[in-house]
Structure 1
């Protein structure tokens, strides 16, 4: 083999390695972004469920507050607001 053929093989091998590196890194970034997006959606769903539970607890507390006020009015004969 002469010098021109060797440099051609070096250039072709380099181009092949850089293109492989580009494809692998692009696919890796795509997979990581997909996984992060899925995790974000799952966490948002869980936080929405927790928010719904807090709303239910707040509703129950409001009901208990009204009951306590009624008991105080009846027991002490007070008109508290």
Structure 2
């Protein structure tokens, strides 16, 4: 292989590696964001459950 071919292959491999790293980091951030949103929903539901238990047990009205 000649020197220009080697540099072309290096460029192609570097571009492919950079593209894969970008894709994986984007997917990772999307997954983490989705999981965090799911936790906030669970916490909101937990708050509603605790309020319902307090109303049922103690007759407390909380706004």
Residue in 2 that maps onto 1:5: 5
The answer to which structure, 1 or 2, has the higher relative contact order (CA under 8 A, 6+ apart) is: 2
Note if 1:31 corresponds to 2:31: yes
Task: List alignment gaps of at least 5 residues for structure 2.
Answer: none
- Give the structure with higher Rg (CA): 1
**In structure 2, the residue corresponding to 1:6 is in which secondary structure?**
helix
Which has the larger displacement, 39-48 or 50-59?
50-59
- In the superposition, the TM-score normalised over structure 2's length comes to 0.83
Tell me, what secondary structure is at the counterpart of 2:55? Answer: helix
Q: Match for residue 40 of structure 2? A: 40
What TM-score, normalized to structure 1? Answer: 0.66
Q: CA deviation at 1:18?
A: 0.3
